[in-house]
Structure formats: C-alpha cells, structure tokens
Amino acid sequence: MVKLKDLAEKSGFSITTVSRALAGYKDVNEHTRQQIIEIALEMGYQPNMVARQLRARKTHTVGIIAPSASGRFADDYFSELLMSVGHAAAQRGYDLLVTAKTTADEMDAYRRIVGGNRVDGMVIARTRRRDARIAYLRAARHPFVVSGRAAPDEESDFPYIDADSQLGIRWILNHLTGLGHQRIALLLPPDRVAFTPYRLAGYRQGLEDAGLSYREAYVLNSDLSRSGGQQAAHHLLDNYPEITAIVACNDLMAIGAMNAIQTRNMRVGQDIAVTGFDDITAADFAHPRLTTVRQPIKEIGQRLLEMLIQIIHQIPLEQPQVLLSPELVIRESCGAGQQRKEAVSPVRE
Amino acid sequence: MVKLKDLAEKSGFSITTVSRALAGYKDVNEHTRQQIIEIALEMGYQPNMVARQLRARKTHTVGIIAPSASGRFADDYFSELLMSVGHAAAQRGYDLLVTAKTTADEMDAYRRIVGGNRVDGMVIARTRRRDARIAYLRAARHPFVVSGRAAPDEESDFPYIDADSQLGIRWILNHLTGLGHQRIALLLPPDRVAFTPYRLAGYRQGLEDAGLSYREAYVLNSDLSRSGGQQAAHHLLDNYPEITAIVACNDLMAIGAMNAIQTRNMRVGQDIAVTGFDDITAADFAHPRLTTVRQPIKEIGQRLLEMLIQIIHQIPLEQPQVLLSPELVIRESCGAGQQRKEAVSPVRE
DNA sequence: CTGTTAGCGCATTCAT
DNA sequence: ATGAATGCGCTAACAG
C-alpha cells in the first residue's frame, strides 16, 4: 500500500509538501506539484480514507440500519428507500453504511455506529411509537433524519419526510365506495408503528364520506409482511364472507392477501377487490387489478439525504418537516365495469 | 465524545490499562477492571471505530457497489442480493458499505474504496465480459467474491457463486414445448453481460430437445430493465405475431413484456405465455400466470459472504467456485389446460 | 499487574 | 515555497 511517505521519499520532498500538492493548495510551486502528481499516478497512490476520517473527524458516510425480521430481511419499501438514499448519497460524495439488525440488538448497532463515529449522520426508516432510536440520536446530538412522522398523539419534533397516508387511504376508500363497495376491511400494521393511526383515521374518514358506519371487526392488525397479510385475509374471509374489498397498508400485505384470495379460488379484483400501499417497482405490475396508493419513495429518499447533509453541515433547514402527497394509482382493469355486481352486497347491520 | 483518555483520568489508571481492562485481557487486576468498566458505563464510553480501523488496518466492513443506471437505481436482483449479503454480514459482525455509481465512474469508486482501505473485501454483483472490476481487484490482491461466472469463453479463475441459468432456461423451454409452444422468443441482456451466452445456450438446447429449429429473429438483446423488456416485446409482437411465448432473462424484463402484452389487449398466460428469471419476492406473485425460474439469491448472498470472510482471513476455500441449481416455478394457473388452444400455432418454416 | 513509548496515515499548525 | 512537529484515538511491544 503506497502512502504519502512513499511519495515523499520518491520525490525528495517532505510528506507535508506532498500532501499539500495533492490537496491543491496554492502555496506550492506549480512545478513541484506536477512532479508529485506524476509520481502519485505512477505509483498508484490512493489516500487512506480511514486515516483521513480519523484526522478530520468526518467520515463522509451516512448510516442506515435495516430492521431485519426473522425470515425476510426487509420489505420492498425499505430496500427501495435504501437504494434511493444510496443513490442520492453517491451524488453528493457520500457513502452508505448498512447494518442489518434484529430489533433486539438494534440499539447496540446504533451505539456502535453512531457512538463509534463511523458515520456523519443517520437515516431512520420507519418511525415507531416512543422511538428509542430517535431518543438516542437526539440525546447524542447526532445528525439524523426520519422517514415518517411520529404518531398523532406524540410530537414530531425532528426532521422528517412523510407521505400523507391518511389522505391516501381516504382516497382508496372513496374509490372503493364509488364502485359500490360497502363492506371494506383494513389490514393495519401493529400499533407500535407510528403511521398506524393515520391510516385508520383515513379509513374512518373514507367510510364517513360515504355514509358508511365503522365496524371494528373489519379492521385487523398484523405484520407488515406477506404472511401477515395472508393470515389476516384468511381470517377475514373465514369470518366475514360478506367483505368485498380489502385495503392493505403496504404492498407486502396486499400480496399476501392476494395470495390468500387465490388460494380460496376467488379472483382478485373481481370476486374481491384488493388495494395496497407503497406501489414500489415490482408491485406496480403485481396484479393487473391491484389499485394502490403510490408513495414517492424515490423522492423521499432523495430529500431525506439532502436534509441530512444540511444538518451535518449545520445549515438551518427552512422546512424540517415535509408532508408529501401520495398518488392514487387505479389500474385500468380494476374499474367499476369489471367489478362483479354480485360481489357487492348491500349493508345489513 | 468520551474516549479512553477520559476514562483514564477519571479512574486514575493509564490509557493502556483502561484499554486492556475493557478488551478483557487477563493481566489486569479484576478489581481494577470492574472499576474501569463501571466508569466506562457511567460515562457512556464507545470506542472510536475509525481509530481502531486505522490501528488494526482492518475495517470489519465489506463493500458492494451498485450499478446505478440512468433512471432506476438497480434491479430487484441487486437489492435482494444486497439485503442478503448485508444480513449475512451482520451475523458475522461485519458492516456493509454501499456505493452507487454509474458505469462511468465505477472504477473510481473501486479505487477509492479498495485502495483507500475502507473495506476488507468486496462483493461484485453481475459479472461482465473482461470485467475491469475483477481485473482491478485481482491486481490489487484485494479479497473479493463474485456473483456469477465469467462468460463461457473466458476463464472463471476467481471465487464465485452462480446459479446454473443454462439449465434453468432449458427447463423453461422444456416446459413450454411440453405445453405445445413452438414459436418461442427469448429476451437476452446485452452481450457484455457474462451470463448471456449461457442462457442462449439453454434456449438452444431446449429447442433441440423438442426438435424445433433455432430462429435468430426470435432472440432479442435489450436492457435488463422493464422498458427493455417492454420495447423488445412490442418489437416481437409487431413483427412476429405468430409467437406464442416469451422467455425473459430477468423479472424486470418479464414484467416489461407483460406490460406490453396487456397494453395490446392480450392476456398474459392465455393469449401468450411469459416466463421470467430470478423470481424475487414481489415477482413471486407478480402474475398468477408467470412461470419463472427461481434463483436462490438469498443463499447466493449468504454463501458469497461466508466465502469472502474466509478469503479475508486467508482460510483456503475448499470450493471456490459454486454452481447452484435453480428451481422451476410453475404457476398453477399457467398449466396447459388453461392455455388457449388457438394460441399455439403449428410450425411452418 | 501497570505504565511508557511508539506508530497506524494523514492534515494541519507553526516555523523557516 | 517547503519542512518539522503535533495529534486524531487506539492498541501493542516492551519494560518494570
């Protein structure tokens, strides 16, 4: 490994001069610089990043910790966010440090990464109630940004970007009720997820908009996973066969629900409508009848990183809390015309 | 930021003793150790990872560079591999450094990351012909592993894990010809991708198995992207309407082809059969009629990382080149019975 | 058992 | 315009 010292010896100048020549300082003879640059090229010099980091107490790296559940590593929302943050970081000359941890040792990872000065800032992925990660980073006075607000009854006194999922779910409900649906189920994530109340609120608003009454049994909490959606859908269809539509809070759950439906020899979008949330790449074509709400994940990632870099550089943010609008994506083949009439049963309460 | 020096002052011992007490060395008075540990806890000491890395000339980090094409950041294959490598790394106490780069400055990134000693090893994602990344890493004598063999006419003299895609495509062809298909198109990636010849070979074998002749016009090269698959499918269906099946070399292309088909008001799996390759999570349910070959990406990621760590620790590998078997995933609803008879046209050559 | 010394590779004073 | 000295925070070799 070739270092400054080697260039110094080869060129006859001191380490200091070599360092400054390469760094582009003006107080070095132009001829000397050329000489040194040539030697550096010739010897294939690459500055040791770790030494630089130690010296500068800056890493030019941002960290993100993947919530690694049991079976799968993370959902598509997370990996999509990861890639968009990584891309944005690369554009700004930052690298991305990824650590996968189960919820158990998650805080250890934060302490190690953040306390160990491995990164200049952190991206937190999915806000939770009384989020320990946020509490820790705030106490440590370490730069961070968050994807997703706090729950409505907590204070979102941290920089975040979020999509207005309450509005998104309400739109979905409006769409479904407009198609004649009256018995609509909702698959919610566990309560510890901060966005859960927003989506429930959107659901209730949507029912209200259509003059439908809220029925608690139609709302289920389960994992934000495929199997979570699958189990929940089976439970619903076992006990409430009158249901004609299922609204899932992320694509993975929607896919699970679709799977359950197909297993029962029913047709998605015909016998029963399914909608998702997120609409990441693959799910975009997941099913020709899957209407979803699209979260601008790419934009969220990009803007999160820009925000984070401003915080790192202590540039005051003009807008530390951003609520982006989602987008309702209605699949052509999911229109009212193709909805089986008999699938829409009248309310009898 | 609290460091060893602070603990030393507070405890009255020297920095060295503190360091060794915390590191668990046996030559430290047990009482002293307890004292020091208590103070460390109390002051919230976290070792500076960067300093350690510099000192140890080890980073406990593996790197992976994302091929960031124009629009999208990477395909699902890559992000799936990324997550599985990251997960495996976490289990072994390694972090993952991700950098997104366009093909243009890709080599710069390698020089910076590898030459700059930021990682102990690298994972290379999709082998290319005369792969500059491999050449560089080998010349630098830096530990690395590769997902995917070299092209058949080059030597795969590096540690890799690959799925036998030739066999996979052959299986697909057998499946399709078994259903009566005789005019089968193939969507191939560009020639610079190392696996292209393998898949073409599998295709030709499959045709041969059924006694069908190869027709060059049915084989198209395009991007491993959705739009690539879409354009190729349109081109095929415009010019060769007699085609009854399209085999795509990754899921993204398959999804693009499905999109093209639906746009033309044809039905996937009924008017025309489509098969993909990769079968990552979302695509698992992408379309009830999408038969695919499943690559064991999770296993590939896991094993790649294990291999890499052995190389880093200079443990000789007993099997540096691994070829895993893929798996043919036939969707129930894609069976012969549901194939429209008229969609299968007889050969006339 | 504990402390002193040295150095990982670099960038920045402060001299000259 | 250049060089010597210093230290980022840590660990290890070598005394005692």
- Write the pLDDT tens digit of every residue in B242-254: 999 999 998 888 8
Q: Which of B49, B255, B261 has the most A C-beta neighbours within 10 Å, making it the best mutation to test the interface with A?
A: B49
Other C-beta atoms lying within 10 Å of the C-beta of residue B91 = 14
**Architecture of domain A4-47 in this structure:** Orthogonal Bundle (1.10)
What count of residues does chain B have?
A: 349
Complete edge-to-edge strand list for the sheet that includes strand B327-329: B219-221, B184-188, B245-248, B273-278, B291-294, B327-329
Least confident of A81-85, A210-214, A334-338, B246-250: A334-338
Every domain of chain B and the residues it spans:
4-47, 61-162+299-324, 165-294+327-343
- Please report, rounded to whole angstroms, the spatial distance between the CA atom of protein residue B103 and the C1' atom of nucleotide D7: 39
Residue of B nearest to A116 (CA): B48
Task: State the nearest Cα–Cα gap between A283 and chain B, in angstroms.
Answer: 6
Same-fold call for A61-162+299-324 versus A165-294+327-343: yes
Question: What are the distances in angstroms from CA B10 to CA B19, B32, B39, B45, B179?
Answer: 14, 13, 8, 12, 79
Q: What residues in B contact A284, CB-CB < 8 Å?
A: 255
Find the mean pLDDT for residues A42-58.
97
- DSSP label of B70: S
How many A-B residue pairs are in contact by the CB < 8 A criterion? 161
Could you tell me which CATH class the domain B165-294+327-343 is placed in? alpha beta
Query: Is residue B158 left, alpha or beta, with left meaning phi > 0 and alpha meaning psi from -120 to 50?
Result: beta
- At A24-43, the pLDDT tens digits run 999 999 999 999 999 999 99
Find out whether B268 and A287 touch, Cβ atoms under 8 Å: no
- CA-nearest of B169, B262, B6 to A331 is B262
Q: Is pLDDT above 70 for A74?
A: no
- The answer for residues whose C-beta is within 8 angstroms of residue B155's C-beta and 6 or more apart is none
Q: What residues in A contact B46, CB-CB < 8 Å?
A: 111-112, 115-116
Q: B68-72: list long-range contacts, CB under 8 Å, 24+ apart.
A: B68/A87, B68/A90, B68/B100, B68/B101, B68/B102, B69/B102, B69/B223, B69/B225, B71/B225, B72/A281, B72/B225
- At A252-291, the pLDDT tens digits run 888 888 888 878 888 777 788 888 887 655 445 556 667 8
- At B14-56, the pLDDT tens digits run 999 999 999 999 999 999 999 999 999 999 999 999 999 999 9
**Res A280: pLDDT:** 58
Q: With an 8 Å Cβ cutoff, are A98 and B96 in contact? A: yes
Name the residue among A259, A285, A333 with its Cβ closest to that of B255.
Answer: A285
Q: Which of B46, B50, B70 has the most A C-beta neighbours within 10 Å, making it the best mutation to test the interface with A?
A: B50
Cα–Cα distance, A96 to A78 (Å, whole number): 14
Other C-beta atoms lying within 10 Å of the C-beta of residue A268 = 24
> What percentage of chain B exceeds 70 in pLDDT?
89
Nearest nucleotide, CA B17 to C1': C2
Nearest nucleotide, CA A29 to C1': D1
Q: Is the CB of A13 under 7 A from strand D?
A: yes
What count of residues does chain A have?
A: 349
Name the residue among A54, A112, A282 with its Cβ closest to that of B50.
Answer: A54
**Res A251: pLDDT:** 82
Q: Is the CB of B53 under 7 A from strand D?
A: no
Could you tell me which CATH class the domain A61-162+299-324 is placed in? alpha beta
Q: Is pLDDT above 50 for A343?
A: no
- Please report, rounded to whole angstroms, the spatial distance between the CA atom of protein residue B160 and the C1' atom of nucleotide D5: 49
> What percentage of chain A exceeds 90 in pLDDT?
71
Find the mean pLDDT for residues B172-176.
94
Nearest nucleotide, CA B36 to C1': C2
- The answer for residues whose C-beta is within 8 angstroms of residue A315's C-beta and 6 or more apart is none
Cα–Cα distance, B109 to B95 (Å, whole number): 18
**Res B320: pLDDT:** 97
Question: Reduced to 3 DSSP states, what percent helix, strand and coil does chain A have, rounded to the nearest 5?
Answer: 45, 15, 35
Find out whether B329 and B167 touch, Cβ atoms under 8 Å: no
Query: Is residue B298 left, alpha or beta, with left meaning phi > 0 and alpha meaning psi from -120 to 50?
Result: alpha
- Torsion angles phi and psi, residue A17, rounded to 5: -65, -40
Q: Is the CB of B57 under 7 A from strand D?
A: no
Nearest nucleotide, CA B4 to C1': D9
Query: Strands B144-147, B160-163: parallel, antiparallel or unpaired by DSSP?
Result: parallel
Query: Is residue B348 left, alpha or beta, with left meaning phi > 0 and alpha meaning psi from -120 to 50?
Result: beta
Question: What are the distances in angstroms from CA B48 to CA A44, A94, A232, B4, B59?
Answer: 29, 20, 46, 9, 12
- Please report, rounded to whole angstroms, the spatial distance between the CA atom of protein residue A55 and the C1' atom of nucleotide D3: 20
Mean pLDDT for chain A overall: 88
Q: Report chain C positions within 7 A of protein CB atoms.
A: 1-5, 7-13
- At A95-127, the pLDDT tens digits run 999 998 877 789 999 999 999 999 999 999 999
Task: State the nearest Cα–Cα gap between A91 and chain B, in angstroms.
Answer: 8
B231: helix, strand or coil: helix
Q: What residues in A contact B84, CB-CB < 8 Å?
A: 73
Amino acid in position B246 = I
Q: Which of residues 12-71 of B touch strand C (CB under 7 A)?
A: 12-17, 20, 27-30, 32, 51, 54-55, 57
Q: What residues in A contact B3, CB-CB < 8 Å?
A: none
Q: What residues in A contact B95, CB-CB < 8 Å?
A: 97-99, 113, 118
Q: Report chain D positions within 7 A of protein CB atoms.
A: 1-5, 7-13
**Res A245: pLDDT:** 95
Find the mean pLDDT for residues A89-93.
93
Sign of the Cα torsion A305, A309, B57, B4 reads negative
Q: Identify which has the larger pLDDT, B225 or B110.
A: B110
- Please report, rounded to whole angstroms, the spatial distance between the CA atom of protein residue B213 and the C1' atom of nucleotide D4: 79
Report angle CA B226, B230, B233 to the nearest 5 degrees.
Answer: 140
Nearest nucleotide, CA A15 to C1': D3
Task: State the nearest Cα–Cα gap between B66 and chain A, in angstroms.
Answer: 9
